Amino acid sequence: MARLFSPRPPPSEDLFYETYYSLSQQYPLLLLLLVIVLFGLLALLAVAWASGRELASDPGFLTTMLCGLGGFSLLLGLASREQRLQRWTRPLSGLVWAALLALGHGFLFTGGVVSAWDQVSFFLFVIFTVYAMLPLGMRDAAAAGLASSLSHLLVLGLYLGPQPDSQPALLPQSPPQPSQRPIQLHTIAPRPRGPAPSEADPSAQLAANAVLFLCGNVAGAYHKALMERALRATFREALSSLHSRRRLDTEKKHQEHLLLSILPAYLAQEMKAEIMARLQAGQGSRPESTNNFHSLYVKRHQGVSVLYADIVGFTRLASECSPKELVLMLNELFGKFDQIAKEHECMRIKILGDCYYCVSGLPLSLPDHAINCVRMGLDMCRAIRKLRAATGVDINMRVGVHSGSVLCGVIGLQKWQYDVWSHDVTLANHMEASGVPGRVHITGATLALLAGAYAVEDAAMEHGDPYLRELGEPTYLVIDPRAEEEDEKGTAGGLLSSLEGPKMRPSLLMTRYLESWGAAKPFAHLSHVESPVSTSTPLPEKALSSFSPQWSLDRSRTPRGLDDELDTGDAKFFQVIEQLNSQKQWKQSEDFNPLTLYFREKEMEKEYRLSALPAFKYYAACTFLVFFSNFIIQMLVTNRPPALTITYSITFLLFFLLLFVCFSEHLTKCVLKGPKMLHWLPTLSVLVATRPGLRVALGTATILLIFSMAITSLVFLPAASNCPFRAPNVSSTASNLSWELPGSLPLISVPYSMHCCVLGFLSCSLFLHMSFELKLLLLLLWLAASCSLFLHSHAWLSDCLIARLYLGTLDSRPGVLKEPKLMGAISFFIFFFTLLVLARQNEYYCRLDFLWKKKLRQEQEETETMENLTRLLLENVLPAHVAPQFIGQNRRNEDLYHQSYECVCVLFASVPDFKEFYSESSINHEGLECLRLLNEIIADFDELLSKPKFSGVEKIKTICSTYMAATGLNATSGQDAQQDAEQSCSHLGTMVEFAVALGSKLDVINKHSFNNFRLRVGLNHGPVVAGVIGAQKPQYDIWGNTVNVASRMESTGVLGKIQVTEETACALQSLGYTCYSRGIIKVKGKGQLCTYFLNTDLTRTGPPSATLG
């Protein structure tokens, strides 16, 4: 039973729960209780009038009824205002209880002779409704229930005890000897088996009353505990659902930000649908397609301008920076460029080292796209001039702009980066490469679109780019109109350097100055969102502060202005609370049918009816308590005939068997130690909890068994109407006449059989999850059976009891309150309607609990899917070991992410032949079909990353047809330095195998596309700096001399070969690979280098070779 009582929730949750509980559950029940009492009083008046009684002749009865009608009408008026009830819940509930108690005591002393069984059913009604229908806590309800029980017992005990002469005998006596006459005017001799107890002692009947009241208290407390447990569970599930919705909203916002940080909005939804399909099909897999190609998300746009910008002198500066300084410097610089791009309606495409390029006219066409790019280029140059003037650091900006058309979109499966391709993009790149530091270099196409907005001058082409010389088109340098103004004003050259002193490094000077720009941190929108993951489901603080006892949860009656005070989260909280209001069951709902409460979705209704019910065993246990109470009562008020004892013994056996089956799952060890023939019982216990058909059959049989045993004593009373107390020769002075019928049970067992029937009604309410229609059927069946028994077939027993009570009086007809059959029938109807109301309420809350659990599961699954989607999106931007540092509470600080590594192997693999393959014509849709093939190449390369043996390979980016990857990035900082060279560089072998696998993939593509593409690969290893830069479009990248040399190894390499530096060749030789010397070659920016080719025909053939060549 202790499991029925859940631990107390946090105070804030408890406050809302109590308010929700009293309003949503108990408020309508309180109104219904008052209505039932009022209709019961009216029914009593109607029965009294219909039975021919003169109401005026019984002023006590009439006064009690009128006072009751007036008092309960007043209470109904007071309780009809929900706000008033919320403010005065306990006082009003106490008034209702006191009024019911006063009415019960008024009934005791109105209408005739006071007997021990008087108004027991009414007090049982008071006790049960205190628990089930009044908005009281468990302690208050228990106190009221016990006080009601004790008041009845004490009042009758005191009233009947001191008056043995004036009150009729209450105890049963043994039946007379067969030799005696049925009617005897003197004391009847006891049977030989033992003396009968004194007839004047009412203790046995009061003990039976105590058992009835105790059973009523236990049944009421059990019902309340079940309901509170169900309601609290529903409440918490509703809060958890709200919590999940917030998490879901947060995840959706994260996804939106992440998608928009990778892709333009017009591509975001299309790509998201692809990821969702991948998640549903299984992580890492692609959904089945109608063709053999990967999905291509590339579109053609005309009328755009492309800007390329490169920071001149940054490579030398970066070599002097610490990892933190380098990442901070890049983030501030490119963050500033992103701000300028936003001001001029440009979209940053990608960052390549210290190169920055963007496009204007995407995704929406802009008529002034050329002017936007030129303005942006001028502002970038101006920002760098200010930086140079303030720090004295010798850096500059070189910008190239060209206008035309582009193919834009995303290729590959991993590390998506929005990119642009076309001959016009290539031209813009060459415009930057051949430009002049500090100037914006534009083509004739861009100049034509400027329409004279800027003055230009011809660019000298003597030392220009070969690509531009081949085109033979003139190019121009834009004259910045504000440059002269800046020269006239002058600048405090090297202001910061002069203040800080000549000894400070240039990189540190730049870092100090750039920090003043205040560029946003990458993924700042993710790190500042409070993580919704919590186990305690906190409530909105503003909702707590806005809450007051006077405020109703009914939103239609919310005080004006309160909604303005609540934020969106609080408003959603109150919307959820309002959905739990039990008054909703009578209104149209998209979930329930308001009449039958069936779910509108047939599958959900079927799932509800087939759901498991582990608590069924507790229902059966409490029902056994009702049965045991009936047994004790029958033993107290009857002379315990052997047949009745045998009947109860058989029923006890059946109940014990039922309980043993229900609880055998908890007694598995004991059962398995017993006879083998009982080893199936634990399995049967599980079946009872999980099979609804078996459950319904056992529950129905249990209730019918209690109903049957409640009226079993009537079987031992004569069916013929041969009441001896109506004989005309019975003396009015025979006060000691026996209460027994000849050869039968005592008459006082008749009203107690009615009380046992009432307990039978209560047993039906103990099966909380039993369907409403089944309860209705059982209650109707029992109501019809009880009324037919006590009002028809055995009605004469009640008349006989009345005749015995009023023996010798002039008016032998008492008031309606003292006539057992009438009060019994009225009690049956009152309990019938009360339990029907509770059954409907229970059914609603059981279904509501099931609905919220299902919603919670669905939202949790959706949230989990969204979290997986967010993780995949983030891992499409960042490596898996970096991504967690940018999510919610995992964000450790506000510093930029940066990490230095001692040994990282960097790979550049390109398909140089693709540049010749690429063409723009109407046949290939202006280059779109060429990009489709490139997408297949990159996607096949990406698929290799999902193989376990390549789990250490991290894709960095793609640059047109060049694929960049690295290994050794998932090692802990400083870890490599602590290991020997062989262990620290063991991942180089993984990269070599990956490069070989890339070549194999390209061979397969060549076979299917009838091409002869060959791979050119460059490898290098050494120290690098990794970091995340860019707030608008965060990008993970690696920098350092190792990266630059690896790029040169690819660009100076040979088709079909893997070119490496001398240091990398030595490391690979130690791992079992064979390298041979290429010789000394000239490498841009590095001078003369001795390089090697990797022999890819042999892999780890055995012991290392002695030489490289």
Residues annotated as catalytic (active site), given as ranges? 1048, 1084
Q: Which pair of tokens denotes residue 635?
A: 């033993």
Identity of residue 321 = C
Are 417 and 261 spatial neighbours (Cβ–Cβ below 8 Å)? Answer: no
Concatenating the DSSP letter of every residue in 898-920 gives EEEEEEEEEEEEE-THHHHH---
Contacts of 577 (CB under 8 A, 6+ apart): 16, 20, 24, 238, 553
Q: What does the longest C-alpha to C-alpha distance in the chain come to?
A: 148
CA dist., res. 358 & res. 351, Å (int)? 9
Nearest residue to 771 (alpha-carbon basis) of 599, 899, 897, 928? 599
Query: Encoding tokens for residue 102?
Result: 């006063």
Residue of 277, 278, 272, 279 whose CA lies nearest to 252: 272
Task: Report in angstroms the alpha-carbon separations of 633 from 123, 714, 767.
Answer: 16, 14, 23
- 658: which 2 tokens? 């039922």
Q: Give the number of other Cβ atoms within 10 Å of residue 383's Cβ.
A: 17
Report the run of H or E that residue 370 belongs to, with start and end: helix 369-391
Task: State both tokens at 194.
Answer: 């033992």
Q: What are phi and psi of 885, to 5 degrees?
A: -75, -5
Residues 6+ apart with CB under 8 A from 271: 259, 263, 297, 410, 416
Q: Cβ(410)–Cβ(294) under 8 Å? A: no
Phi, psi of 592 (to 5 degrees): -115, 155
How far is residue 40's CA from residue 561's CA, in Å, rounded to a whole number? 44
Asked if 544 contacts 19 with a C-beta cutoff of 8 angstroms, the reply is no
With H, G, I as helix, E, B as strand and everything else as coil, classify residue 478: strand
Of the candidates 417, 252, 416, 286, the residue with the CA atom closest to the CA atom of residue 869: 252
Q: Which residues pair with 477 in a beta bridge?
A: 441, 457
Write out the two tokens for 669. Answer: 């060890």
Q: Which element (helix H / strand E) includes 476?
A: strand 475-478
Radius of gyration, CA atoms only, the chain: 46
> In degrees, to the nearest 5, what angle opens at C-alpha 1001 toward C-alphas 999 and 1006?
90
Distance CA 1018, CA 189 (A): 121
- Say if residues 695 and 616 touch (Cβ distance below 8 Å): yes
CA distance 745 to 634: 11
Strands 1058-1061 and 1016-1029: parallel
DSSP 8-state class, residue 1014: -
Distance CA 688, CA 684 (A): 6
Helix (H, G, I), strand (E, B) or coil at 924: coil
